Amino acid sequence: MPKKSDRSDWQWPLAKERSLKDFDPAAKPFSSGDKQADIAATEALALELDGLQNLFYADKRYKLLVILQGTDTSGKDGTLRGVFNRMSPLGVHTVAWRAPNEAERAHDYLWRIHQQVPGNGETMIFNRSHYEDVLVPPVNGWISPKQTEQRFVQINDFERMLTENGTVILKFMLHISFDEQRVRLQERIDDETKHWKFALGDIEARKQFKPYQKAYEALLNATSTAWAPWTIVPADSKVHRNLMIATLVRDALLGLKLRFPPGDPALKGLKIV
């Protein structure tokens, strides 16, 4: 089990400028040092999350929004499989966000997001998120720096509104290195079973790796808030990535002091015949 200092070291600080260079994507702060032990620990955590989700669904005092954000190949899909695959589908939902369609573009950029936030007792996992709207447009010059700053403020207000109405927001930025991204993209080319995960546009996006890192730094500095802080997850190791996220989600749920609602007094002594 990692020390508390390890956890806080990976939360993006509030009201303080930082750089992604301060965070080593190859680090393994939550690892025991034994890969097989880490895999077993993640499996155990996944089972624990299933039980906690059942309690969370029954409790219905909260809503949970998990945001997985990261560059191509950072492991958003892998996290879904490795961390959340054991959770009962009861009250658990996932959205994989893509470029907005025509109907979505006719509204403000948060319109489609708000429709997918969790209800009472529900866990919603975003594979990408509204943060794409302060990454792709600025990097490609589709919106101005002033518009980007406006969106940062709007996103903070949106997330504060959600938290004030019972939503717990866990935001994870999956941080991988340029070299590791190359390895994973090449694997998708070399393995025919992974061709579906590769698009030629991924090569163009890789050329923009540094601008995207700068865009990430800007959004992290602007949108890591007291009500919805960002956690940087060093993700060069897939095993460590899953272990870290599973641990932090488990701890967040335990911290809610979940409870089953009081039973109906009429059930006391009731016998089914």
Q: 251: closest CA among 31, 12, 64, 9?
A: 64
Determine the Cα–Cα distance for residues 236 and 176; give it in Å rounded to an integer.
Answer: 5
Domain tally, the chain:
1
Kindly report the length of the chain: 273
Confirm whether 146 is domain-assigned: yes
Confirm whether 65 is domain-assigned: yes
Confirm whether 104 is domain-assigned: yes
Confirm whether 223 is domain-assigned: yes
What CATH number does the domain containing 84 carry?
3.40.50.300
Residue 254 burial (CB count, 10 A) = 11
Confirm whether 34 is domain-assigned: yes
18: domain range?
A: 4-256
Spatial contact of 86 and 46, defined as CB atoms under 8 Å apart = yes
Confirm whether 273 is domain-assigned: no
Confirm whether 243 is domain-assigned: yes
Residues 13-62 pLDDT 10s = 887 789 999 999 999 999 999 999 999 999 999 999 999 999 999 999 99
Is residue 187's pLDDT more than 50? yes
Q: Which of 103-112, 141-150, 203-212 has the lowest mean pLDDT?
A: 203-212
Confirm whether 262 is domain-assigned: no
Token pair of 167 as six digits: 């939503």
Q: What is the pLDDT of residue 196?
A: 85
Considering the entire predicted model, what is its pTM?
A: 0.93
Over residues 140-163, the mean pLDDT reads 98
